[in-house]
């Protein structure tokens, strides 16, 4: 069980809401500078978190995280990014 106001708890709540998360979004939303570390902690706690690489609007590539059951959301995000 996570302490309620930690970055990891906030990130998990975000993902449980069916949303995806990139490192830039984590920095803005949760002041989290090390998203990969928080994701690793959540995975070790037993949460099934998927990651995929996607191209951002800027042309740079970034990891996009979601709960494993939301893999379709990641694919939709990739298609949306390509269309922009």
Secondary structure string (H, E, C) spanning 29-79: HHCCCCHHHHHHHHHHCCCCEEEEEEECCCCCEEEEEEEHHHHHHHHHHHH
CA distance 65 to 57: 17
The domains located in the chain, with CATH, are: 7-83 (1.10.10)
For 40-65, write each residue's pLDDT tens digit.
999 999 999 999 999 888 888 999 99
For 8-25, write each residue's pLDDT tens digit.
999 999 999 989 999 999
Among residues 20, 18, 16, 12, the alpha carbon closest in space to that of 62 is found at 20
In this prediction the pTM is 0.76
């Amino acid at each position: 069980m996570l302490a309620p106001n930690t970055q990891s708890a906030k990130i998990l709540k975000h993902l449980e809401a069916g949303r995806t998360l990139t490192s830039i979004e984590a920095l803005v939303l949760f002041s989290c500078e090390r998203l990969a570390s928080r994701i690793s902690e959540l995975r070790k706690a037993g949460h099934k978190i998927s990651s995929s690489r996607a191209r951002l609007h800027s042309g740079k590539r970034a990891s996009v995280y979601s709960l494993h059951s939301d893999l379709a959301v990641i694919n939709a995000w990739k298609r949306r990014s390509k269309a922009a």
